[in-house]
């Protein structure tokens, strides 16, 4: 079973506190692009948001909020949310990369056939993008342990678990923080 999770729970610090998922890109909320990229591949799809729940309800997905009131980041969010979700594999996307499409997600799924025990993520423009990822369920307890031990850097977690990066065109993962 493949479960999808769109991360839209951040504080929006780089965009003056705005809710990035609800900001428009070419007339659509940014979060909608991630939802549409994941939907064809997921048996169940969830949306992580920590504010503006009434606006996120229009997407028709179950909404998940983090128990931590100060939104300490995506790594902590994953460690809190993934253990509560059903699934053998988790497809994860942030809300602010509208260039992502369903066919890009196929690349993660194809790599998972070759690397079924690995955190599979995209590499674009020489940067690792660990939140554009497929995470197998057996890695979730390792993620939880590392966060419980104080780890807050996603890249360090990637170095500590089985992981593999998949190259993707530079323009696909253009991150919109402005």
Q: Is there a domain that residue 176 lies in?
A: no
Q: Rounded to the nearest 5 degrees, what angle is found at the Cα of 47, between the Cα atoms of 70 and 178?
A: 65
Q: What is the pLDDT of residue 27?
A: 83
Please report the sign of the dihedral spanned by the C-alpha atoms of residue 41, residue 102, residue 11, residue 22. Answer: negative
Q: pLDDT tens, 95-105?
A: 988 999 999 99
Contact between residue 108 and residue 157 where contact means Cβ atoms under 8 Å apart: no
Q: Decide which of 94 and 19 is more confident.
A: 94
Q: Enumerate residues 6+ apart whose C-beta is below 8 A from 18.
A: 12
Q: Give a yes or no: residue 78 inside a domain.
A: yes
Is the residue at 8 inside a domain? yes
Return the CATH number at 47. 3.90.550.10
Whether the predicted pLDDT of 176 surpasses 50: no
Q: What is the pLDDT of residue 178?
A: 41
Q: What does the alpha-carbon distance between residue 104 and residue 106 come to, in Å, rounded to a whole number? A: 5
pLDDT in tens, 109-155: 999 999 999 999 999 989 999 999 999 999 999 999 999 999 999 99
Query: Tens of pLDDT along 7-64?
Result: 986 554 554 555 788 888 788 999 999 999 999 999 999 999 988 899 999 999 999 9
In a domain, 16, yes or no: yes
> Is residue 73 included in any domain, yes or no?
yes
Structural domain includes residue 107: yes
Task: Confirm whether 89 is domain-assigned.
Answer: yes
Query: What's the rounded Cα separation, in Å, for the pair 70 and 60?
Result: 26
Q: Provide the residue range defining the domain that includes 145.
A: 2-167
Domains: count for the chain: 1
CA dihedral 128, 78, 120, 156 (to 10 degrees): 50
Closest-CA residue to 123 (of 87, 84, 155, 91) = 155
Q: What is the three-class DSSP state of 72?
A: coil
Write out the two tokens for 119.
């955190």
């Amino acid at each position: 079973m493949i479960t999808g999770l769109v991360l839209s729970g951040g504080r929006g610090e780089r965009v003056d506190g705005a809710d990035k998922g609800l900001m428009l890109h070419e007339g659509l909320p940014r979060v909608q692009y991630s939802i549409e990229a994941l939907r064809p591949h997921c048996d169940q799809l969830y949306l992580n948001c920590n504010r503006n729940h009434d606006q996120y309800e229009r997407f028709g997905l179950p909404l998940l909020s983090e128990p931590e009131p100060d939104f300490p980041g995506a790594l902590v969010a994953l460690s809190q949310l993934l253990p509560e979700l059903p699934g053998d594999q988790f497809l994860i996307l942030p809300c602010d990369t509208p260039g992502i499409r369903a066919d890009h997600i196929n690349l993660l799924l194809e790599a998972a056939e070759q690397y079924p025990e690995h955190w599979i993520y995209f590499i674009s423009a020489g940067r690792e993008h660990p939140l554009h990822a497929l995470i197998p369920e057996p890695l979730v307890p390792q993620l939880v342990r590392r966060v419980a031990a104080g780890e807050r850097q996603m890249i360090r977690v990637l170095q500590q678990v089985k992981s593999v990066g998949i190259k993707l065109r530079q323009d696909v993962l253009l991150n919109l923080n402005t």
